[in-house]
A and B are shown apart, each in its own frame.
Chain A
Amino acid sequence: MNATVPAPAVSPTAPDTLNDAERLQAYRRVKRRESRKALLLAAPLLLFLLVTFIAPIGTLLLRSVQNPEVPQAMPDATALLQQWDESGLPDADVYAAMARELVEASKAGELGRVARRMNFYNPAMRSLLLKSARKLKRMSVEDAQLALLEVDGRWGDKEIWRVLKRAGQSPTPDYLLNAIDRHVDQDGDVASLPPEESVYMAAFSRTIWISLSVTLLCLALAYPVAWLLANLPERHSRRMMLLVIVPFWTSLLVRTTAWYVLLQPNGVINSLLTGMGMVSQPVPLIFNRTGVLIGMTHIMLPFMILAIYSVMKGISPVYLRAAQSLGAKPLGAFFRVYVPQTLAGVGAGCFLVFVLSLGYYITPALLGGAGDEMISQLISIQTNQQLNWGLAGALSAYLVIFTAIFYFIFNRLVGIDRLRFG
């Protein structure tokens, strides 16, 4: 064999680097223009989302760390208090500023907000501040320290001043701590609240527990129905689908009230049971966890069914045949071949139901009993009744964070991203 001479490495036309760079630039320019156009098309939606969704949530989350009430109403006293070292009582000028600004804030109608804010720290603060302001208005103040002590002896309590100092700090971790039953104690350490004031951790875990139960119940009920829907002849499945969707058109309140009628001690179900002699006493189906689970499962069921159905519809029945032809018994074929292919739908359904359940509110309020309070009910109390928007924001923040974590975990497990509807 002849030794082969290697071909010359130089090809007749060397790549024109300048030209390539230009071409690349032109390509990028076109690409940029295209993406700008796409952005422009999506702009109305983005704007809508920004205004109606992102901005309110952002504001809410911001509120959970903001502390504006006291510094705004009492700028001087707040500033002076920040320099106080908490060893003894504050200096006379702090007292003076406090006395002056109490009256000013009261006249400006701002003291109420301060009082409410302070009351979250200590239930005595509101009446102390309002009472002091009322009395100070009628006095001529020479020595502010004496005057305040005369008005109320508690102004000589270091704890009162420590709390006022904390209220002057913004951003504050206090709301976020309160939302998980913690607070900063007198020594400046984070400590748990006494058990009789620890509501929120229990409420969070209860909320998660109820949501999980509802999710699993929905899954157990929805899976066979979705299978039926996906495998029935079109004519029948369309009719059945209507049954699934109709509840969507009915108001939530109506549906919940209907359950109330069905489940109450003398309601339809109990009358049937006692009438047939199956039970002697009415079974407690309402005003307890059972009622909450029944009501919420019913309301969440369509979401689960639709999520699973949308995936099942895309799975050809031929897979089950293939598995059987390969020797798998029908049940084995179902679990080895069919179920794994529906996981994306199951995942999406579970995520949807779980997240919607986390924020649920009306149904547990109407069908639940003592100890079925979900976190959103407590958030609503803080928002509407207590006007404690900081705490409401903090509670919501944890809910948002938890949802995000759950999404992440779930996405890792079953890949919600892979899901395509329709």
Chain B
Amino acid sequence: MKTMRNTHLLAGASVLATMFAAGSLRAETELSVVTYGGAFENAVQEAYFKPYTEANGTEFNFESYDGGLAKLAAMVQANNTTWDIIDLESNDAVAGCDEGLLEPLDESILGDTADFIPGAISDCAVASMIWSTVFAYDKEKLADGPTSISDFFDTAKFPGKRGLRKSPKGTLEWALLADGVSKDEVYEVLSSKEGVDRAFAKLDTIKKDITWWESGAQAPQLLADGAVVMTQAYNGRIHDAVKNDGSPFVTVWDGQIYDFEWWGVPAGAPNADEAFELIAYASSPEVVARLSKYISYAPPRKSALPLIDDEILSDLPTAEANFNNAVQIDVDFWVDNFDVINKRFQVWLAQAANS
């Protein structure tokens, strides 16, 4: 009770202090940053925002969201944007740009654009990092574990439940890869109805062995609980479980589906200029290289890689050993086709339950 009152007092005092600070230091701005929260937010705070505040005195105020453009669209439509920097998934970055929900990006602030991995700069956003969808298993339970995406679909060799994200995204690509489609032809095949049929046919073979998860935190949990023998997961989550919880998980990089995460500035952001300055700062090679120290996501610039310790580098999606059979998610494909394929996915799911 006493401590609670104290925190209230503290909170009240800090509110007062902020009000005074805001009154006296009018020149100093406070940028509102919106991210998915969790480990990523902690990492970017350490890597970018705290050093930036120390250097420039700009304060940041963090807010988290669950992705999707709904809230942003509502703000922009109401002409009342309060966010300055937003952490975006690829499809939201593309759609947000198309729909004018993001401020256009002036490439020149980023320096040498050729240094960026191809596709890491769009009209409105710049990649903040590369993350990947992989699968993992518990080496204490499977001594001689799976090594390829085909093993994920091989229930004879590796009996037991598999965790998959309840979304057609990533799932269908894997089905095709396991069915022998080469990584470069995945989206070509998926563009035809026959290709989608083929993917679902492959999924049918492990249908009864799938445990579906919906939020990223569930995947390592399922694995730890022994509810599944292997599971699809975001690479950062597995890395985190290994590093911080000492979980005996092994990441299988074969067939990894990597994607960019983006920084964007919402249309009508109150401090757009400062926001772009921060983004430019956070994209500079020395700075962006820091991120991998805090979370196992890779920088989107080539020149940043040499600045990273080898030990850390080997856990990143872009490490050479991990990158052999990597598929870059085709954002345009999914923006165009998600609705139709997702419908089909839902129908298929329901059938799975009935059969």
**Cβ contacts under 8 Å, B340 to chain A:** 123, 197
For B97, give its contact among A112, A288, A371, A381 (CB under 8 Å): A112
Chain A proximity mask over B331-342: 1 for CB below 8 Å, otherwise 0: 010011111101
Contact check, B226 vs A127: say whether CB atoms are below 8 A apart.
no
For B346, give its contact among A110, A130, A203, A286 (CB under 8 Å): A203
Q: How far is the CB of A191 from chain B (nearest CB, A)?
A: 16
**Cβ contacts under 8 Å, A386 to chain B:** 338-339
**Cβ contacts under 8 Å, B161 to chain A:** 265
**Cβ contacts under 8 Å, A411 to chain B:** none
Q: What band does the interface of chain B fall in when counting residues whose beta carbon is under 8 Å from A?
A: 35 or more
Contact check, A266 vs B99: say whether CB atoms are below 8 A apart.
no
Contact check, A119 vs B336: say whether CB atoms are below 8 A apart.
yes
**Cβ contacts under 8 Å, A162 to chain B:** none
Contacts A199-B346, A371-B349: A387 and B339 contacting too (C-beta < 8 A)?
no
Instruction: Give residues 183-200 of A contacting B (CB, 8 Å).
Output: 195-199
Contact check, B212 vs A369: say whether CB atoms are below 8 A apart.
yes
Give the A-B pair count, Cβ closer than 8 A. 107
For B95, give its contact among A202, A286, A378, A387 (CB under 8 Å): A387
Instruction: Give residues 313-355 of B contacting A (CB, 8 Å).
Output: 332, 335-340, 342-344, 346-354
* Interface presence of A216 (CB below 8 A): no
Instruction: Give residues 341-385 of A contacting B (CB, 8 Å).
Output: 365-366, 369-373, 378, 381, 383-385
B-to-A contact residues, CB < 8 Å: 66-70, 73, 95, 97-101, 161, 166, 207, 210-212, 214, 225-227, 267, 332, 335-340, 342-344, 346-354
Docked pose: A203 CA to B343 CA in angstroms: 11
Contact check, B98 vs A112: say whether CB atoms are below 8 A apart.
yes
**Cβ contacts under 8 Å, A203 to chain B:** 346
Chain B proximity mask over A119-146: 1 for CB below 8 Å, otherwise 0: 1100110110010000000000000000
Contacts A202-B350, A287-B211, A384-B66: A115 and B98 contacting too (C-beta < 8 A)?
yes
Among A196, A264, A265, A373, the most chain B Cβ lie within 10 Å of the Cβ of A196
Contact check, B347 vs A196: say whether CB atoms are below 8 A apart.
yes
**Cβ contacts under 8 Å, B343 to chain A:** 196-199
Provide 17 A-B residue pairs closer than 8 Å at the C-beta atoms, listed in order of the A residue: A108-B100, A109-B100, A110-B100, A111-B98, A112-B98, A119-B339, A198-B343, A265-B227, A266-B225, A289-B353, A369-B212, A370-B212, A370-B349, A370-B352, A371-B354, A372-B353, A384-B66
**In the complex, which residue of chain A has the Cβ closest to the Cβ of B228?**
A265
Contact check, A113 vs B99: say whether CB atoms are below 8 A apart.
yes
Contact check, B98 vs A383: say whether CB atoms are below 8 A apart.
no
Q: How far is the CB of A267 from chain B (nearest CB, A)?
A: 7
Docked pose: A206 CA to B354 CA in angstroms: 12
Nearest first, the 8 closest Cβ-Cβ pairs linking A and B are: A109-B100, A371-B353, A112-B98, A112-B99, A384-B68, A370-B349, A371-B350, A199-B346
Among B101, B267, B335, B337, the most chain A Cβ lie within 10 Å of the Cβ of B335
**Cβ contacts under 8 Å, A120 to chain B:** 339
Q: How far is the CB of B217 from chain A (nearest CB, A)?
A: 11
Docked pose: A195 CA to B351 CA in angstroms: 11
Docked pose: A108 CA to B97 CA in angstroms: 12
Docked pose: A372 CA to B352 CA in angstroms: 10
* Interface presence of A182 (CB below 8 A): no
Docked pose: A123 CA to B344 CA in angstroms: 14
**In the complex, which residue of chain A has the Cβ closest to the Cβ of B208?**
A370
Docked pose: A67 CA to B214 CA in angstroms: 32
* Interface presence of A396 (CB below 8 A): no
Q: How far is the CB of A241 from chain B (nearest CB, A)?
A: 26
Contacts A287-B211, A369-B212: A267 and B225 contacting too (C-beta < 8 A)?
yes
Contacts A266-B227, A365-B214: A206 and B350 contacting too (C-beta < 8 A)?
yes
* Interface presence of A64 (CB below 8 A): no
Q: How far is the CB of B98 from chain A (nearest CB, A)?
A: 3
Contact check, B336 vs A123: say whether CB atoms are below 8 A apart.
yes
* Interface presence of A215 (CB below 8 A): no
**Cβ contacts under 8 Å, B210 to chain A:** 370
Q: Can you add 20 more A-B contacts, CB < 8 Å, to A197-B343, A369-B211, A370-B210?
A: A109-B99, A112-B95, A116-B99, A123-B337, A123-B340, A195-B347, A196-B348, A198-B343, A199-B343, A265-B161, A265-B225, A287-B212, A365-B214, A369-B212, A369-B353, A370-B212, A373-B350, A384-B67, A385-B67, A387-B68
Docked pose: A116 CA to B91 CA in angstroms: 12
* Interface presence of A169 (CB below 8 A): no
Contacts A365-B214, A371-B354, A383-B70: A130 and B342 contacting too (C-beta < 8 A)?
no
Contact check, A196 vs B344: say whether CB atoms are below 8 A apart.
yes
Among A366, A387, A388, the most chain B Cβ lie within 10 Å of the Cβ of A387
Q: How far is the CB of A256 from chain B (nearest CB, A)?
A: 12
Among A124, A195, A199, A202, the most chain B Cβ lie within 10 Å of the Cβ of A199
Docked pose: A126 CA to B267 CA in angstroms: 21
Q: How far is the CB of A109 from chain B (nearest CB, A)?
A: 3
Docked pose: A371 CA to B66 CA in angstroms: 23
Q: How far is the CB of A240 from chain B (nearest CB, A)?
A: 29
**Cβ contacts under 8 Å, A123 to chain B:** 336-337, 339-340
**In the complex, which residue of chain A has the Cβ closest to the Cβ of B97?**
A112
**In the complex, which residue of chain B has the Cβ closest to the Cβ of A365?**
B214
**Cβ contacts under 8 Å, B342 to chain A:** 381
Contact check, A124 vs B336: say whether CB atoms are below 8 A apart.
yes
Docked pose: A342 CA to B299 CA in angstroms: 66
Contacts A265-B226, A370-B349: A197 and B344 contacting too (C-beta < 8 A)?
yes
Q: How far is the CB of A274 from chain B (nearest CB, A)?
A: 12
Docked pose: A236 CA to B298 CA in angstroms: 61
Contacts A119-B339, A124-B336, A266-B225: A373 and B346 contacting too (C-beta < 8 A)?
yes
Chain B proximity mask over A300-319: 1 for CB below 8 Å, otherwise 0: 00000000000000000000
Contacts A123-B339, A365-B214: A116 and B346 contacting too (C-beta < 8 A)?
no
**Cβ contacts under 8 Å, B101 to chain A:** 112
Contact check, A388 vs B353: say whether CB atoms are below 8 A apart.
no
For A388, give its contact among B100, B339, B350 (CB under 8 Å): B339
